[in-house]
């Protein structure tokens, strides 16, 4: 005595559970790769290491060293003695292709 509505609810529940588990596992792998990232010091050997890497890129690395602000360091309003700097962001735009069927870029 199972109705089609109950089967539909069960199937969609299983599908969503599978989708969320897949997304969880994918993000879990990324977190593990970040946690296992090699720690490098910011020194004179770093440019040579980056240029020797495959594609001149190091996928996940933790850089340790002293950061100097370009102008003045940002001071926290909430914690006395806490300072920070703003990282320069690099925005890389990919080429856009017009999709005439969906009428968007």
The count of domains in the chain is 1
Residue 13 covered by a domain? yes
Is 104 within the bounds of a domain? Answer: no
Local confidence band at 18 (pLDDT 50, 70, 90 cut-offs)? very high
Does some domain include residue 73?
yes
Q: Residue 13: which domain range?
A: 4-84
Mean of pLDDT values over 75-91:
81
Q: Is residue 90 situated within a structural domain?
A: no
Give pLDDT, residue 89: 64
Residue 103 lies in a domain: no
3-state helix, strand, coil in the chain (%, to 5): 40, 10, 50
pLDDT digits (tens, 9 = 90+) for 39-75: 888 888 888 988 888 888 887 788 888 878 888 888 9
In a domain, 91, yes or no: no
- Asked if residue 93 is part of any domain, the answer here is no
For 75-95, b/e burial (b = at least 16 CB within 10 A) is: eeeeeeeeeeeeeeeeeeeee
The 10s digit of each residue's pLDDT in 19-36 is 999 999 999 998 998 888
Helices vs. strands in the chain: H and E counts, helices first: 2, 4
């Amino acid at each position: 005595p199972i109705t089609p509505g109950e089967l539909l609810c069960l199937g969609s529940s299983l599908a969503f559970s599978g989708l969320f588990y897949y997304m969880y596992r994918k993000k879990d792998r990324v977190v593990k790769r970040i946690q296992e990232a090699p720690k490098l010091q910011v020194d004179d050997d770093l440019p040579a290491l980056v240029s020797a890497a495959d594609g001149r890129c190091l996928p996940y690395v933790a850089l340790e060293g002293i950061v100097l602000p370009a102008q003045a360091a940002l001071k926290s309003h909430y914690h006395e003695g806490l300072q920070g700097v703003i990282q320069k962001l690099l925005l890389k735009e990919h080429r856009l292709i017009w999709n005439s069927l969906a009428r968007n870029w």
